[in-house]
Structure 1
Amino acid sequence: MKILQLTDTHLFADPAARLKGVDPRARLRAVVTHACAWHPEPALVLATGDLVHDETEAGYRLLRRELDRLGAPLRALPGNHDHPGRLARVFGAGAGAPWAGGRWRVLPLDGRVAGRDGGRWHRREARRLERLLAGWPARVHLLVATHHQPLPVGSPWIDAMGLAGGRNLLGRLALDGRARALVCGHVHQPFEARLAGIRILATPAVSVQFRPRTRDPRPEPGLPGYRWLRLGPDGAVETGIERVPPGAPLLRRIVSGGQSGVDRAALDVALALGLPAGGWCPAGRRAEDGPIPARYPLRETPSADYAQRTAWNVRDSDATLILHRGPLAGGTRLTRELAERHGRPCLCIDLAAVPDPAAVRRWLTAHGVGSLNVAGPRETQSPGIGAEAAAFLRRLLLDPDA
């Protein structure tokens, strides 16, 4: 089971507003787009405070629209740069409620103190914790989320604004014995420690990054980040931090025919990234595994013949990228022949040969490709080709260092 944590988005309702020189809206959109592609269909998304810097309801609506792209239940807790009432109006009264998934319980805890940068382990939250611990089965595992860090992270300026009473919280969790990890934000830098068997994990901000272990706040030009956590039924916690590279989309549009395998992988990746996607499909939305699902924005050709949609997708694109394994055959070979006939650039990439995404990027740039037709074998002809094609396309479109 995978959970995503985003923190310290510091959004403004004004799209022109900047925070220490960075555009919070652009960074949030880049992070969500990256998460959609690399960590699709999470079980839960945690937003751990300092979400809307100007504390406007319009800012929370913007945040909700972006996070809804992840297609998962949301839990959001306020930080010192938040308005709890407006957050609750937009995210719902259950935004800070516990979440249950399998043998796991995820508990957001509110340590905000109105008018102060630092937080506090409140008595009301302590009483709430006691009620919840008493009601949960003995064999569940617990992931706790706070905004403020419960332990010093080695930066005196931000440690002065931590969670007062944080060690009391950790002590109570350790005594209970079911907590496996605590995630937090606030510090705008990565940090990890362990206390009494509990992992304490601070996550970099979506917005501004600060240099770790400094006496005074020192913003640095770091990439926006977020955290993923994989929670095992045995209580194991795997986790990592993703850093999101900036830059405009490489392509303007992805075109494909909707068949199983490579075609559908291309459409899935495009839709996850927020790239326009489309193309022609046979009449009746014909595919080998039944009608192509309606979520794929394809137009039907007059004929149910695969060849017509193949020809029209080649014709209506700037270039064609064929992803395959081994010699071309059948409709995949026809795609290359049609590209030659229409005078369109065509590049064949054998996924079995460990291809270089950078070489494909250079080819796209050299030919000025904006609309790319992606084609290849169907899943029954080449089992597993869809997953391989999707992985390659994600590297091509999102990882400039690959």
Structure 2
Amino acid sequence: MKKLLKGYLIAILGLVFLIVLILGMFAGNSNQCQSTDTSVTVTTSADKEAVAQSIHDNLKKVSGVTEAGIAGYLGNMEVESGFNPKSIESSATYDESKAMNQSLSGYAFGLNQWDSARRVALLTYAKSQNKQWSDPSLQLDFALNHDGTNSDLLKQGLKMTDVNQATEFLRAKWERGGQGTTTKRQAFACNWYAEFSNGTSNTAIDTATDGTETTQNTDNTTNNSSGCATNITQGMGTSGAPVKEIPSAYKNKIKDTNFTTTSSTNTYTFGQCTWYVYNRMQELGTPVENGLGNGADWGKNAKAKGYKTDSQPHVGWAVSFSQGADGADATYGHVAVVEAISDDKKHFLVSECNVVSSGSGTVSFRELTAGTGVTFIQGK
């Protein structure tokens, strides 16, 4: 009987060993099929162009990404950190207790300025890899693969085919910050697209602005990028860089060029965008009334008062921008006047105030495309 039991026990142990061996083989095969190797190597150079080139080359290895998407990512990164992986918001110093407090905001880290819970996730991932959080390779790896659902949003933006759309998608949906800096980010993105899409740095065009003033450029170069057609003989681009002179392509389209007229009935604050639009609409003979609120409020308030509104531009109509739309103020929004439509019907020119030399009453012009967050208003 004991021999029989001993035989059964040996058989059972043998069977258990066989099962463990088979499971081990399947586990090994599973790991081979679902590789988690996400190694990236980003240069630690202090030269932002070298860092941008390195990030670009790493992202090119990711399936489905486009040059437009990469440019959008780089445009956002340039505004966020200036390509400095050691950047801490407001030039603060590292404080472990603050850094690991996920309820603390305004203490953002790294190339993409991760903050709050995402900052803690970055630091935790760095520790798990036994690396410094300031390692640019680790940061790109984190962004692509370890930032939770945010990594999926990043890859979605990287696959977009229009530079401006990719830039704004990543700002609004992935960065989830930077309201009022859309124009600046898109201008930077267009520069990177021009540089990298043709494989050379000689085609870069600088249309970036600090949100105040861009001087006229008489260079006859034209760069047609995806979402970034920029004719700098006009001194401006579709990135929305403001200029103080009507671009040459629109000069023959605008009949009434009296942009400095003022109205004695205007109760809006001098030099503000609302003050200018009230004056300009009076000059065009299609006035709007006082009391429509901040720029972002004009669309809904005008509609409630019986004004005709639309989502598409019309010459001579006012346009209300919601907070952050096309570079509008993140709190108050913005208003402007549609002066002309481009020949290809894809762009429109606005005149506006409080963009160049804020509060001075200076009138400037920008070429834009109709997008989200804008409402066009017909005067009465």
State if a TM-score over 0.5 links the two structures: no
Give TM-score, length-normalised by structure 2. Answer: 0.28
- Between structures 1 and 2, the one with greater helix share: 2
Greater Cα radius of gyration, structure 1 or 2? 2
- Between structures 1 and 2, the one with greater strand share: 1
